[in-house]
Amino acid sequence: MRAVLNTTFRSLRVRNYRLFAAGQLIKLIGVWMMFTAQDWLVLELSDNSPAALGVVTALQFVPVMLLTLYSGRLADRYDKRKLLIVANAVFAVTAVTFAVIVAAGIVQLWHVFLFALLFGIANSVETPVRQAFVSELVELPLLPNALALSAATFNSARIGGPALAGVLLSLLSTRGVFLIATVLAIAPVFTYLRMNTAELHGLERAARGDARVLDGLKYVGKRSDLLLPIGLMAVIGMIGFNFPVTLAALAKINFHAGASSFGLLTTAMAVGALGGALAGSARRTRPGAYRVIGAALVFGALEFAVGFAPGFVSAMLLLVPTGFFSMYLAQAANHRVQMGVDAAYRGRVMALYVLVFLGTTPIGASLAGWWGERFGVPSSIWMGGLVSFVASVAALVWQLRTSGDRVRVRFRPRFEIRLAGPSASSLPSASAGFPAADATFLGPEPAGADGESAGRGREPVGLA
């Protein structure tokens, strides 16, 4: 047990990272409480309209679509810690103002729309900068673990926040939830201020003063190993990851559940997602393309099944593995991008990743809300799973064609899916336990199992 804990939480030995993780956990519990209460408030103010939920979610992410690439440029030019202090301070002030309006009892639907947009502006700066900042908190060998623990922190808040919000909505009403969430949202400002800047692992800012957005896009365009996870997550992020819209509507409209029961659906998915995040915490090398694609295939199939769940309990049970593979997929794609990019471009590349993953949410949320209102909420869920699965199959075909690999399926003596070709032939046989020319589709992750040449899979990350 001690060995497992030392492996899983080894990044927490770094003081700056401990401060970062603590601040994020406290803030995100408050944010998830706020967004859970916000979804319930929207349903109350809009007479149970899925379309209104879609509009709120879309407004939260419109700024991400418009401003994220510029935020990545800022991250490559200026001090990320100072940018994060400003962005979190703006978010906290916005949250306080919104909580006062809700507590005063004068909130209207247009108020919710306005503050959703303001929250989105703050997040459009904070998210890509924070994604890139993790690589400055720890040295390269700890980066996969630090990224995994960041995802675990996020999903721990997803478990605690909605569950706590569901209880408080029953006990204190929506006003009390917003006031408590506001207090928690201020935490990162203080933790960033307490960090030791001399222990950060960033490049000199003067060396990247000419960072341009277009240069970052050209850099990604020349890297097929970055294009695949970014392109795949663009489709799945837009169509498959619309649970903030669909789960609230599913709970209240289809299952006729109360506020606390709605929190259970979100919590069930978050429990699985936390497991998915911790599953990648022991990773030490860059995940291969087939690991990303395999996780996407399983996620699409599970989301499709959730759309046909006959009742509340079955939906809640299915959401646990769905949450696991949603986070395992997102984390593997994030690791593949982060660990394959030069540090001088990291801010802009991660901004592009955030853009396609989160910035496409206004389109997807609006489509999910419109589809759910027209054809029923369950159909918007299974359709998202179907599109995600088809996109994953297309990504698999593209990767096989560009790498020259082949997939072999064997049913006897046991069912196996194996990869054969140039990618598999570069694997060291001793690390995987099978011949070098034959690798499992979702097996271990030895270095070089990327689908590219051995040298390409070890692009310098520039963590000076």
370 vs 50: CA distance, rounded Å: 7
Residue 59 has pLDDT above 60, yes or no: yes
115-124, 141-150, 191-200: least confident range: 141-150
Computed from CA positions of residues 343, 347, 351, 354, in that sequence, does the dihedral angle turn out positive or negative?
Answer: positive
120 vs 60: CA distance, rounded Å? 4
Q: Does the pLDDT of residue 114 top 70, yes or no?
A: yes
Domain ranges of the chain: 2-458
pLDDT of the residue at 386 = 93
pLDDT tens by residue, 281-316: 667 778 888 889 999 999 999 999 998 888 888 888
- Residue entry with tokens 């794609």: 333
* Bigger pLDDT: 141 vs 226: 226
Closest CA to 231 of 68, 343, 396: 396
Q: Does domain 2-458 have CATH number 1.10.10.10?
A: no
When comparing pLDDT for 317 and 6, which is higher?
A: 317
pLDDT band at 453 (very low <50, low <70, confident <90, very high): very low
- Each as own residue / partner, the long-range contacts of residues 154-157 (CB below 8 Å, 24 or more positions apart, any chain) are 154/24, 154/28, 154/277, 155/270, 155/273, 155/274, 155/276, 155/277, 155/323, 155/327, 156/25, 156/274, 157/24, 157/25, 157/27, 157/28, 157/29, 157/31, 157/32
Confidence of residue 457 (pLDDT cuts 50, 70, 90): very low
For the cut 60, the answer to whether the pLDDT of residue 429 exceeds it is: no
The stretch 108-125 carries a mean pLDDT of 88
Percentage of the residues of the chain whose pLDDT score is greater than 70:
80
Count how many Cα atoms sit within 13 Å of the Cα of residue 302 in the half-sphere of its side chain. Answer: 23
Q: How far apart are CA 261 and CA 267, in angstroms?
A: 10
Tell me the pLDDT of the chain averaged across its residues. Answer: 77
pTM of the model: 0.68
67/170: higher pLDDT: 67
